[in-house]
Structure 1
Amino acid sequence: MTSTAAFAALRAQLAALTTEAFRPELADLDRLPTRAIAELMNADDAAVAAAVAGQLPRIAAAIDAIAERMGRGGRLVYAGAGTAGRLGVLDASECPPTFATGPGQVVGLVAGGPDALVNAVEGAEDRAEAAVADLAALGLTADDAVVGVSASGRTPYAVGAVEHARRAGALTVGLSCNAGSALGAAAEHAIEVVTGPELITGSTRLKAGTAQKLVLNMISTITMVRLGKTYGNLMVDLRASNDKLRARARRIVAQATGAGDAEIEAALAETGGEVKNAILVLLGGVDGPAAARLLAAADGRLRPALDAARER
């Protein structure tokens, strides 16, 4: 195919995408007052949650499948390009401080590598083979789950990542913002949040980016809930690495136990600052070493560890 023919084919593909569609009613956008443009953007954003709601059954099914893989030692890997890839890296980077995930347990891959987080790496998203190489460098296994993220649903890097992961036996999820996407077709679990044309034509960092962020929040957060990383709605696997988080750790222990300051300080001191262990000491009536053993026997889940402590 000649370069002219290839360009024409690509143009036709993009024209079929709702995320790339032109909104003629906004043709005079640049002439509007700032307040009016802000109101238009806000109205657009208000519709995103409803679009996500329409995909909740698919999102929940994907989360359950991811949690099952991670429960047996697998990893959660996001793969995308541009805004989509950066959102995956952002979500992955928040998991260690929030849920004390281990090194490499949640991974974000962005086409073009770390430089692409702050600079556009031209052509990186078009290389499916780069996604294969990036996943190979991780030593991808059948226990892992790979989530390809692409607003258009056709980005070669994201589609290539999902296709390679599926061949390797890993769980695959395709998150896009167009119906009937190539990414969705390649994945076992297709999540297609159709947000429609953007305020600025083709700028999918807007509604599409917001939708992807909402879904990624759900995937990581609810997966961690399923893995026992919370106690109720308290993040008891918090890694207290600074003064703000140490204060939050004390507050979480107080909210979970109702204990006084002196008791909380003693429990945290006895457990090396581990929130979950400190709660078990206070509610289960055990010492620090016993709390650690009970949690290990319960795969780190606080509720069954508490039940076991109370039965002693």
Structure 2
Amino acid sequence: MTAAPEPAAAVRVNAPTERRNPLSADLDLMSGPEILAVINQADAGVPGAVRAVLGPLDTAVGLAVRALRADGRVHYFGAGTSGRLGVLDAVELIPTFNSPPHWFCAHLAGGQRAMWGAVEAAEDDEAAGAAEAAGCVRPGDVVVGLAASGRTPYVLGALAAAGRARAATVLICADPGAPVAGSVDVFVGMDTGPEVVTGSTRMKAGTAQKLALNAFSTAVMVRLGRVYSNLMIDVLATNAKLRGRTVSILIEATGCDEAAARRALAEADGELRTALVALVAGVAAGAARAALQRCGGDVRAATALLGA
């Protein structure tokens, strides 16, 4: 049995997320409404912090699109809140965009147990992060490290191993001055500043990472043709709500009535993308499916091929 890693020495981290926020210095003396107002005021600055890093985030999107088109994968490595947000993002892409499960792989320090409870020591295990990445990352993949402080050993170990495996590396964190900024291919350092509760990165830093991940993965899916206009065209209709949504999407996209939308879906064996091309181009489901296959699943290219 592998011996447990030695406890890491206590280290004072001077990351922005560990500094005290003067706006909340008297937090424990405030009334309920005052506490909520301070938190809300602090949260209001998060979108601006994300806006400031859209350039490098777009670069990361391009790397991910290139990797997935070449049969590569995107890996998220994180610990604590950051890691759980990576798991959440990867899981939600499957029902929303019918993303193949192997496209986005989430790795959480401490494993599945850490999703439901704190396994705090796991984030200090740099060797574990390196070993996990070495065991699954291939050349051409993209590895996204998620670390509020930008210093989490598990994440840094994974990024270093990914670099050795000739994968592209991205770090998303809440410290623009993180020491490893120059050691990754793309650095996304968001300036969210001190937390309302000092060091509680489940707050602003976590919110910023959630926004950045939502933007990153959604942009990747859009660029891979899994959105038509601003509509989900690969949604997995696994319940009544989602089955109703597929009908609504066809109505919104084509202007047809509900009966025509349901008929098109039935003729397309429930394939929303095929039904959409059939309705837009005015062709049978078989012709729509063939056009999609010729165009790599791109709806606009398929409809253009069919003269629509």
TM-score for the superposition, normalised by structure 1:
0.93
1:261-309 alpha-carbon deviations (Å, 9 max, x no partner): 2211111011121111110111112222222221122111111011111
CA distance in structure 2 between the aligned counterparts of 1:130 and 1:44, rounded to whole angstroms: 35
Q: Which of 120, 123, 147 is the aligned partner of 1:122?
A: 120
Of the three residues 28, 31, 56, the one matched with 2:29 is 31
> Which of 82, 107, 110 is the matching residue for 1:109?
107
SS at match of 1:310: coil
Point out the structure with the larger helix share: 1
Deviations 1:171-218 (A, max 9, x none): 111001012214433310000001010000100000000000000001
- The answer as to whether partners of 1:162 and 1:183 remain within 8 angstroms in 2 is no
Which of 35, 47, 50 matches 2:48? 50
Decide which of 273, 286, 289 is 1:289's aligned counterpart.
286
Partners of 1:70 and 1:143 within 8 A in 2: no
Q: CA deviation at 1:5?
A: 11
2:236 aligned with 1:257: no
Q: Give the fraction of aligned pairs with identical amino acids, expressed as a percent.
A: 43
Alignment-derived partner of residue 198 in structure 2: 201
The counterpart of 1:75, out of the listed 52, 73, 76, is 73
Deviates more, 1:35-44 or 1:99-108: 99-108
| 1:148–1:183 contact (8 Å) kept in structure 2 | no
Secondary structure of 2:120's aligned partner: coil
For the residues of structure 1 that align with 2:8 and 2:273, how far apart are their CA atoms?
60
Q: Could you report, residue by residue, the CA deviation over 1:220-250 in whole angstroms, capped at 9, with x for unpaired residues?
A: 0000001001001011111111100000010
**Matched residue SS, 1:22:** coil
Cα deviation digits, residues 53-96 of structure 1 (max 9, x gap): 11111111111121111122211111100000000000000001
User: Does 2:177 align with 1:180?
Assistant: yes
| CA distance in 1 between partners of 2:165 and 2:39 (Å) | 42
Pairing 1:212–2:238 present: no
* Partners of 1:146 and 1:172 within 8 A in 2: yes
Find 1:306's aligned residue among 285, 295, 303.
303
2:3 matched residue in structure 1: none
Q: Alignment length, in residue pairs?
A: 303
Out of 237, 247, 257, the position equivalent to 1:240 is 237
**Distance in 1 (alpha carbons) for counterparts of 2:249 and 2:176:** 42
The whole-number CA distance in structure 2 between the counterparts of 1:65 and 1:88 is 18
Q: Distance in 2 between matches of 1:25 and 1:55?
A: 25
Structure 1 residue 231 corresponds to structure 2 residue 224: no
Secondary structure of 2:143's counterpart equals: strand
TM-score (structure 2 length as normaliser)? 0.94
The residue matched to 2:227 in structure 1 has which SS?
Answer: coil
CA distance in 2, matches of 1:297, 1:52: 38
Unpaired stretches in structure 1, ≥5 consecutive residues: none
SS of the residue corresponding to residue 272 of structure 1 reads: coil
Partner of 1:148: 145
> C-alpha separation between the residues in 2 aligned to 1:141 and 1:289?
37
Aligned counterparts of 1:172 and 1:276: Cα–Cα separation in 2: 33
The change in CA–CA distance for 1:79 and 1:5 in structure 2 (over 3 A counts) is: closer
Q: Is the contact between residue 80 and residue 120 of structure 2 (CA under 8 Å) also seen in structure 1?
A: no
Note if contact 2:130-2:159 (Cα within 8 Å) is conserved in structure 1.
Answer: no
- Classify the secondary structure of the residue corresponding to 2:107: strand
Judged with a 3 Å threshold, the aligned counterparts in structure 2 of structure 1 residues 183 and 273 are, in CA distance, closer, same or farther, namely farther
Distance of aligned partners of 1:56 and 1:122 in 2 relative to their CA distance in 1, 3 Å threshold: closer
Residue in 1 aligned with 2:90?
92
What CA distance in whole angstroms lies between the structure 2 residues aligned with 1:159 and 1:232?
38
**Contact 2:67–2:73 at 8 Å: present in 1 too?**
yes
Is residue 274 of structure 2 the alignment partner of residue 277 of structure 1? yes
Whole-angstrom CA distance in 2 between matches of 1:5 and 1:126: 7
Post-superposition offset of 1:105: 1.2
**Structure 1 193/297 Cα, relative in aligned 2: closer, same or farther at 3 Å?**
same
Judge conservation of contact 1:128–1:160 (CA < 8 Å) in 2. yes
